[in-house]
A and B are shown apart, each in its own frame.
Chain A
């Protein structure tokens, strides 16, 4: 990839260091994330059939239309082509159970874009991951619809591996959980498909390895410490999807390396507290949302000292 390309802008721009420019843009990164989400989409379409494609389509559509309407109303430039609405819509749909009524998915998309993103001023200004805001809203608004699970392919009522754990009897095998042949949200079940997309993002350097590693690592350590099976906790629920695609969101996660470590560790602790002692079987979305709230603080306390700066007494 070509880096350090001089832009042809005739306008002179004065900006603080670092003065690195390359061909990556918001748009190219967002479409990169969409590409990375495709394996999970394909797996989801294989396991949940046409329903998955339908839910993803209407959620993405709702996000794009909401963004357009909101920006039109507020007289702001229209940014629906930068791909961020597509990413939000796909991630939100991946967080919905396959039986979700269509209109609820649309409501989730509208809420994600308005309350999650545009009330704060649009892309780059939102403190919380918009897709997770949409999911949290739906979980609070329509709890019954959000915890109705069907098994893949044949579509009969079932429960997720984490609910099995809560009930004390785990019947899903590692292999089923790894390839995604278990009950769950559309895009979260197949760890394999998510790993393929996640590795692509790591290869493209769109995400930093520190957040998934510290997040998954903390979950594994806590699981071991309390006599649980770490592999089960890695593969179950939305942890893989959250660790690679949602905790790593550039806007809502820390910029500093130390901050990223702390972010992942904090999210891991919150997640395991919810899974082991909380009322909900799953807590990936809440763990990431809570750590999103800490992101400005983490960036502040882990700000690296500039060269030659003397440590001042507080």
Chain B
């Protein structure tokens, strides 16, 4: 059970696809202009990732090694089409905003990456857990970027006015440069947090050793 938890949690922080592995940058930078867009993109990616990981894991012994990438693409494209059509039918406005980036999930390196590195080698249940963790990682990542950019760029979060409407908004944060600035600062902050965590862990480890030695002595 412990390993299941680890496989699930790694996508949320230690191997976070957008902030740690820095893959899938195209939708990350392009659609996170608002929190709702980031959330929708994250959930669509999660859906495709989970379904295709499970499917690829089920079919891993059927797929010939030499043509595995085209096979993965076909499987991924199937679920992307489903996601695209569901969004178009139920959330036409959101679909218009996300536009081209929904079909582009097909070539999102997160999905092919998990298929190649994980689902094609691991049992179905673990592939499902891995894909779910990674998907939720992308979802919180894109939503977080969206919240920050929308708040700074328009003074709203999920469309709700947070800052007074008269406050000067920093237009740059909903423009492409803002995506790079925000992403860079978040990645830097995350590294800083990880350094601090590692340092504390090391200190605790050495601390317990000296305590142990003291008891022995």
Asked whether any CB of chain B lies closer than 8 Å to the CB of A141, the reply is yes
Smallest CB separation, A266 vs chain B (Å): 22
Please report the number of residue pairs spanning A and B whose Cβ atoms sit closer than 8 angstroms.
21
Q: Are A143 and B181 in contact (CB under 8 A)?
A: no
Closest 9 pairs (CB-CB, A-B): A141-B172, A140-B172, A141-B170, A141-B171, A140-B177, A140-B175, A143-B171, A137-B172, A142-B168
With a cutoff of 8 Å between Cβ atoms, the chain A residues found around residue B184 in the complex are: 119
Which of A101, A140, A142, A145 has its CB near the most chain B CB atoms (within 10 A)?
A140
Q: Are B181 and A115 in contact (CB under 8 A)?
A: yes
Size category of the A interface is 10 to 19
Write 21 A-B pairs (CB below 8 A) sorted by A numbering: A101-B168, A104-B168, A115-B181, A119-B184, A119-B188, A137-B172, A137-B177, A140-B171, A140-B172, A140-B175, A140-B177, A140-B178, A141-B170, A141-B171, A141-B172, A141-B173, A142-B168, A142-B170, A142-B171, A143-B171, A145-B168
With a cutoff of 8 Å between Cβ atoms, the chain B residues found around residue A140 in the complex are: 171-172, 175, 177-178
Q: Is the interface of B mostly helix, strand, loop or mixed?
A: helix
Smallest CB separation, A42 vs chain B (Å): 31
CA A155 – CA B45 in complex, angstroms? Answer: 54
Residues of B at under 8 Å CB distance from A?
168, 170-173, 175, 177-178, 181, 184, 188
With a cutoff of 8 Å between Cβ atoms, the chain A residues found around residue B171 in the complex are: 140-143
In the complex, chain A residues 95-142 whose Cβ is within 8 Å of any chain B Cβ: 101, 104, 115, 119, 137, 140-142
With a cutoff of 8 Å between Cβ atoms, the chain B residues found around residue A115 in the complex are: 181
With a cutoff of 8 Å between Cβ atoms, the chain B residues found around residue A104 in the complex are: 168
Closest to B168 in A: A142
CA A137 – CA B173 in complex, angstroms? Answer: 10
Closest to A101 in B: B168
Closest to A143 in B: B171
With a cutoff of 8 Å between Cβ atoms, the chain B residues found around residue A141 in the complex are: 170-173
Taking A119-B184, A142-B168, A145-B168 as given, write out 11 further A-B residue pairs in contact, using a Cβ cutoff of 8 Å, ordered by the A residue number: A101-B168, A137-B172, A137-B177, A140-B172, A140-B177, A141-B170, A141-B171, A141-B172, A141-B173, A142-B170, A142-B171
Closest to B188 in A: A119
CA A142 – CA B168 in complex, angstroms? Answer: 8
Smallest CB separation, A302 vs chain B (Å): 30
CA A275 – CA B130 in complex, angstroms? Answer: 53
With a cutoff of 8 Å between Cβ atoms, the chain A residues found around residue B181 in the complex are: 115
Smallest CB separation, B71 vs chain A (Å): 41
CA A141 – CA B181 in complex, angstroms? Answer: 12
Smallest CB separation, B174 vs chain A (Å): 10
With a cutoff of 8 Å between Cβ atoms, the chain A residues found around residue B172 in the complex are: 137, 140-141
Smallest CB separation, A3 vs chain B (Å): 43
With a cutoff of 8 Å between Cβ atoms, the chain A residues found around residue B188 in the complex are: 119
Smallest CB separation, B49 vs chain A (Å): 32
Which of A140, A141, A143, A145 has its CB near the most chain B CB atoms (within 10 A)?
A141
CA A69 – CA B129 in complex, angstroms? Answer: 43
